[in-house]
Amino acid sequence: MKGLHCPLPILRTRALLNGMETGEELVVYATDPASVIDFKHFCNTTDNALLSHETEPDEIHKTVFVYRIRRGG
């Protein structure tokens, strides 16, 4: 989801999770700083679990936010 702005990272993540089995995990790489709030809220209001949130340096976008999410049931 690099280079995408709200709400696209969440919308695309939701679509990917909908195609997954319960318990499967998805790793999302986003560059929108607002995604920090968006992904926490998304997981708090759905059955999906935010397992981790980290940041990584990136030459193009400066910072990449990495989210590991488990598909809920």
Catalytic residue status for 6: yes
For residue 4, how many other CB atoms are within 10 A of its CB? Answer: 15
* C-alpha span between 60 and 51 (Å, rounded): 26
Torsion angle of the four alpha carbons 73, 55, 58, 32, in this order, in degrees rounded to the nearest 10: 60
Q: Which of 2, 4, 6, 50 is catalytic?
A: 6
Catalytic residues: 6
